Chains A and B, each alone.
Chain A
Amino acid sequence: MSILDEGYRGGPNTSRDRPHGNLVALRIAVLALFGLLALKLVDMQIINGSEYARRSRENHIVATNILPPRGLIVARDGTPLVENTGVYTAAITPEFLPESKDARYKIYLKLESLVGVPALQIQAMVDQAEADRQGFLDIPIQKYLSKEDALILDEASTDLPGVKLTVTPGRRYLGGNAYSDILGYIGAQTPDEYKKLKKDGYKINEPVGKTGLEARYESELRGSPGISQVEQDAQGTLIQQLKTREASPGNTVKLAIDPGLQEFVTDLLEGSLGNANNAAAVVMSAKTGEIYAMVSLPGYDNNIFAEPEKHAGEYNALANDPRKPFLNQATTPSAPGSTFKLITASAGLQEGTITPNTTRNIPNAILYVKDENGNPYPLVDWEAHGTIDLYGAIGESSNIYFYMVSCGILNETKGLGKDAESSAVSLGYYARAYGLGQPTGIDLDGEATGTIPNPDWKRRNYSGSDFTETDRAWYYGDTCNMGIGQGFVTATPLQIARMTAAVANGGSLLTPHLLKEIDGPDGKVLKIAKTESKQVPVSAANLAAIRHGMHDSVNTDRGAGAKAYIKGLDIAGKTGTAEFGPLKKDGSRDQHAWFTGFAPYNDPEIVVTVYFDLGIGGERAAPTAGKIMDYFFKHVKP
């Protein structure tokens, strides 16, 4: 009997009944289950189909931004001050490494031989990233590869899955120490910066200007990033290039800085330092406010910020240097000393408490007056000037004359106001009108405001339990100190330059600016820096009188600024020697050296302000300023 035979009678008890099962339930089950699946498909494919279609497209289209070449920063003659470079980094994307441990370790070993990072260290980095579920991100293994090493790695990486060479934009600063404070530097975004910049379409891999002009003109220098969309499969293999929008380079920032002058001033200040630690000089147009040169000493090489890990030692040395090289001395305040007398003179003339012809006889270097309590109070000058008018007082930089103008001589003449306090308020008004105590508005961040005190300010500044009512009170001596630019008064070299320019040009308080113009990548001029100014409340005649005094300072034998004299140039100026710090054993104090001046006298073209943290204005600052003017009229604007 074959099993193909019909009629097999199975087991003995096989039921041979007519089947009685009800199969309706099974039919319903078939239709219901497929109906349920069909409903789900309606939801997925018809109702939400387009949303899934969008996700499907995004699933395999990877957009990367193409970083644009950053705009250049050039000097007024077009000399480039920066250049774009690539920062080459060896990186690993763990996701694309082979699965097998052996194969991975072979790759680590090969990478070790190429870039010198130990294989075990690479392994630890990769394992950590995978443990953190960050395997899809690039891990930088070695930064700042040389161009040669980068090329070798690039070639080798085709046989090393997961290994790649990344190139990020870098910057090299060409001007050396002379430009560090002005240019600033760029760097990778911090997470906080990224939060803000994201709104402007920044991607995390874009470097941004951190300080200086790099930060201030970020929006001009950035350019617009391109986009490259590629289709890739789940393993990251490129399928096809979809579309590319080229990046367009940033604009060129052309500065008013004259590179020759900038370097000359840097060298000159370094050569004139003597015992001084810091120095600053500002060369500014008296007509437009553009900055021809701005130097701060000591300088530093801002290229260290381009490769911070590589230059950590240098950075630490600079950061711990007591001379504070990272501080721009041109925008850092200190007591302006006698340069402030230009403001005191303006106040006296304008308030009508003096005329240019008001004279005072100063037979001795010390004049004792009786203060509010009847105690003798010495008013100290630096020499016995004899009888002098305003011109002589400015020219010889008499202290007692300007005490007379500001705080008055007790029991003899009144100062600017009816008492010490109102005199200080009046003087403060003129100081502020000349731009002191506030930012100049120069196109750099981090500018200090300096201090112009008044009785309210002192009360606020000495509030709290550490001080007594005696500390908080405003005294006659406070107004007197203020009148000669000492005591609580501080100003930055840039503020003094700006103030000097206002005196020189007949009262226009200019906003200083480093920018000359913005040029497109094609060289077309897109924007020219505007001259911005406001008028100081001092009459032309009064300003002329002050200029006359400044001319005397440089051009008379007794003038305090005589050492700024340059044959063939008609220079006017004002020295400043501001005492600061504690009284030394010999009864003297340390002194800041200042000189601020302009030339030519009849039609002022430039203002030069020079500052040394230590020195005598007429000795150290005045001759330096003279040499700067000499260079300017010989080489920049002959």
Chain B
Amino acid sequence: MTGAYGQRSLLRGWDRFDYFIVLAAALLVALGLVLIYSGSSRTYSGPLASFNNPVAKQAVFALIGFGAMLLVSRIDYHHLTHYAWVLYGIAILSLIVILAIGQTSFGSTRWFNVGPLQVQPSEFAKLATILALARFFSEHGGDAKELRSLLLSVAIVAPVTLLVFVEPDLGTAIVFAAIWLGVVVVAGVSRSHLLVLGALFLAVLPFLWTYTVADYQIERISVLVNPEEDPLDAGYNVIQSQIAVGSGQVFGKGLTNGQQTQLRYLKVPTKDFIFSVLGEELGFAGALALFALFILLLMRGIRAAQLAGDTPGQLVAVGIVVLILMQAVINIAVNVSLFPVTGIPLPFVSQGGSSLLSLFVSLGILQSIIMRHRAYRQN
């Protein structure tokens, strides 16, 4: 066995392990547990240590995720990029299958039931797509300067994007698009190519709008503009989240004291609308603390991309940063009525095992990139 560090010990490389990333993620999860506790206190009154308790369940998933992160950080990320096309193929397949047999909730089909667990293939598909993009560009001169490779990269992202879009899951489709954009920008896309593609997209948008956007999506977008028009149906969540966040003011009403949350005016207060709980109970100060944790996490992720020893490492790191960034921003934007209601969880904070697990796996990949950056650094 050759290599910069050899295999002398499993403990090798921990000096380069990024503990700030772990700290930020752990604090986000902890904040999430507190908010899930508050958001579920009116609907769950069973024992604390029960798998029915959403707090305990989330904590268990966080521990599993933490273990997965440690495990993945030990794996050379090149193993993952090596199997990128296989993983990508599985992702496409599972997205097709879910459209056929998946469970429908709130008008949208997003997960399988595997025993007691709900598995969301789109979580897996996000990572698979990032790996595929990184693999693709690393094999094509490491950049996106060539128009041909740029268009081919569009061909990689387009199928998954369209599949989640028809689930329908507008938010995740936008996350895919953003990942692609982030990766090609870092991969050095030519500005003129990007402009042409952007113009083309804008030209096609009206047709997409007409033929593929579901009625409920249009309704959700229009209630964003004027929620009072339909205060009890589509506008309900928008109005109630606005009131929750706004009424939190500077320091919030205190944990478990948010009336919007506690009196169940907020729908799904531990998942999509957990930020509203935070806004109401912890106020502007709490929101800034959350932002600070995300910024810390993301900046450390960008540092991983900076340090990355080679192109696939850098592009994977960029993809993961954009993935977390866009999910966080879209989720919060929904909660403050800047974006139509869409089922995107707040990374590390929202209740949900699949999401948490895949996020920790992502962090493990980031760690793997950081821990090996010297080994692959070229001179």
Contact = CB atoms under 8 A, between A and B. Distances in A.
Q: Say if A and B assemble together.
A: yes
A23 B318 contact: yes
A316 interface: no
Interface string A29-72: 11101101110111011101111110111011000000000000
Interface residues of A, number: 58
B295 A8 contact: no
Contact of A16 (B6, B79, B376): B376
A148 interface: no
B186 A46 contact: no
A131 interface: no
A136 B379 CA distance: 72
Contact of A38 (B186, B188, B288): B288
Given A37-B291, A59-B259, A60-B263, A45 B142 contact: no
Most buried by A among B188, B247, B260: B247
B126 interface: no
Given A22-B186, A37-B332, A46 B242 contact: no
Contacts of A33: 325, 329
B314 interface: yes
Interface string A566-591: 00000000000000000000000000
B333 A44 contact: no
A322 interface: no
Nearest to B82: A10
Nearest to A135: B232
Contacts of A55: 243, 246-247
A42 B298 contact: no
A59 B260 contact: yes
A431 B23 CA distance: 102
Interface in B326-347: 329, 332-333, 336, 338
B366 to A, nearest CB: 14
Contacts of A44: 242, 245-246, 279, 336
Contacts of A136: 232
Given A23-B306, A25-B185, A45 B82 contact: no
A314 to B, nearest CB: 42
B1 to A, nearest CB: 6
Contacts of A470: none
B116 to A, nearest CB: 25
Given A19-B310, A49-B246, A49-B250, A6 B279 contact: no
A14 interface: yes
B195 interface: no
User: Interface size bucket, B side?
Assistant: 35 or more
A198 interface: no
Interface stretch (B58-66, B94-102, B133-141): B133-141
A17 B375 contact: no
Contacts, number: 206
Interface stretch (A210-218, A232-240, A451-459): A232-240
B50 interface: no
Interface in B96-141: 135, 138-139, 141
A60 B79 contact: no
B311 A15 contact: yes
A46 B182 CA distance: 33
Interface in A1-20: 1-11, 13-20
A52 B329 contact: no
Contact of A45 (B279, B295, B332): B279
A59 to B, nearest CB: 6
B280 to A, nearest CB: 8
A251 B299 CA distance: 74
A21 interface: yes
B282 to A, nearest CB: 11
A21 B76 contact: no
Interface string B262-281: 11110000000000000110
A30 B321 CA distance: 9
A5 B76 contact: yes
B287 interface: yes
Nearest to B284: A45
Contacts of A235: 264
Contacts of B6: 6
Given A6-B372, A25-B185, A45 B248 contact: yes
Nearest to B75: A3
B225 to A, nearest CB: 15
Nearest to B322: A26
B350 interface: no
Interface in B1-45: 1-7, 10, 42
B169 interface: no
B193 interface: no
Contacts of B7: 2, 4-6
Contacts of B187: 21
A133 interface: yes
A124 B182 CA distance: 56
A48 B246 contact: yes
A236 to B, nearest CB: 11
A557 B329 CA distance: 110
Contacts of A9: 78
B283 interface: yes
B311 A45 contact: no
A7 B264 contact: no
A21 B186 contact: yes
A27 interface: yes
B76 A6 contact: yes
Contacts of A4: 7, 10, 74-76
A5 to B, nearest CB: 6
B246 A234 contact: no
Contacts of A27: 299, 302
B135 A59 contact: no
A1 B1 CA distance: 8
B245 to A, nearest CB: 5
Contact of B142 (A15, A23, A40, A233): A15
A23 B314 CA distance: 10
A146 B125 CA distance: 66
B255 to A, nearest CB: 16
Contacts of B336: 37, 40-41, 44
B314 A21 contact: yes
Contact of A60 (B265, B279, B321): B265
Contacts of A233: 42, 262-265
Given A3-B75, A6-B375, A56-B259, A45 B249 contact: yes
B160 interface: no
Contacts of A13: 139
Given A49-B247, A53-B246, A56-B243, A42 B295 contact: no
Nearest to A17: B142
A40 B3 contact: no
Given A23-B186, A49-B248, A234-B263, A7 B2 contact: yes
Contacts of B143: 20
Contacts of B75: 3-4
Contacts of A6: 1, 3-7, 76, 372, 375
B21 to A, nearest CB: 14
B244 interface: yes
Nearest to A18: B378
B188 A21 contact: yes
Contact of B245 (A50, A52, A234): A52
Nearest to A15: B142
Given A17-B311, A19-B310, A37-B336, A53 B247 contact: yes
Nearest to A7: B3
Residue of A9, A30, A50 with highest tally of chain B CB at under 10 A:
A30
A33 B322 CA distance: 12
A52 B243 contact: yes
8 contacts: A7-B375, A14-B81, A16-B310, A22-B188, A46-B284, A49-B246, A59-B263, A233-B264
Complex A-B, nearest 10 residue pairs according to Cβ-Cβ distance, in ascending order: A52-B246, A7-B3, A21-B186, A49-B249, A56-B247, A6-B3, A15-B142, A233-B263, A19-B314, A53-B247
Given A41-B245, A49-B249, 17 more contacts: A7-B375, A14-B310, A20-B143, A21-B314, A25-B185, A26-B305, A37-B338, A44-B336, A46-B249, A49-B246, A51-B246, A56-B260, A59-B240, A59-B260, A60-B265, A232-B263, A233-B262
